[in-house]
A and B are shown apart, each in its own frame.
Chain A
């Protein structure tokens, strides 16, 4: 049973464009939503995360938009660069008392010149 659905599976964006990856969750008990970035041959690393008390969080070129009523959240990468080419995973968990992350299936992002 997949509790976090991620789309698209792969994405090609031109350099300087906006990359958008979407996730939807089912468990209303989730209250922590991170995005992890993974480069080939490496382990995932935390990129940015949001709690549901805000609808948007921005860190540099990376923004999470969160829609609690729709149970959806998305990652926006502004001014996408070739160095952003990686696999991105959304995830969700309860922040307190249950630290198990449920991951989406991943999006392979390729930024072309």
Chain B
């Protein structure tokens, strides 16, 4: 099992450019999440999904869009990148089963917006 994978690992964008980050999980998890990690601010939830075809806003959703067309994939889009979106982005997934609360994280995508 690969667990949670993220593509790409690194990316540099110019202000105003767009891009999509791809997250894939092979654990058949219902829940998927996108976080951003910034120094001194911990991990902040951007958007999340409780199942295929559903998405919801997290703590810091502005400037991002997401889609969950397939259960195993969760896409994060930046339509018009801004320097404030320079960050490390983590995807995570978890099971819906009661008693199984662990979130499994991917290796991260380091994004720089110049």
A residues with CB within 8 A of B:
6, 9, 32, 34, 36, 41-46, 49, 89, 93, 95-96, 99-106
CB-CB contacts of B16-46 with A at 8 A, as 1s and 0s? 0000000000000001010100001111110
- Total A-B pairs in contact (CB under 8 Å)? 53
B interface SS class: strand
Do residues B31 and A89 form an inter-chain contact, with CB atoms below 8 A? no
A54 to chain B, nearest CB (A): 15
* List of A residues within 8 angstroms of B31 by Cβ: 99
Does B44 contact A43, Cβ atoms closer than 8 Å?
no
Contact of B48 among A32, A34, A44, A100 (CB under 8 A): A100
The docked-state distance in angstroms from the alpha carbon of A32 to that of B101 is 8
Identify which of residues 67-104 in chain B touch chain A, using a CB-to-CB cut-off of 8 Å: 90, 92, 94, 98, 101-103
Docked-complex contact A93 and B101, CB < 8 angstroms: yes
Q: How far is the CA of A100 from the CA of B101 in the complex (A)?
A: 10
Contact B43 A103 (CB under 8 A): yes
Closest B residue to A32 by beta carbon equals: B101
**Chain B residue at minimal CB-CB distance from A6:** B42
Q: Is the CB of A89 within 8 A of B108?
A: no
**Measuring CB to CB, which residues of chain B are less than 8 angstroms from any residue of chain A?**
4, 31, 33, 35, 40-45, 48, 50, 58, 90, 92, 94, 98, 101-103, 105-108
Task: Write the chain A residue with the least CB distance to B95.
Answer: A99
Among B33, B43, B101, point to the contact of A49 (Cβ < 8 A): B101
Give the chain B neighbours of A104 by CB distance below 8 A: 42
Enumerate chain A residues within 8 angstroms of B50, measured Cβ to Cβ. Answer: 99
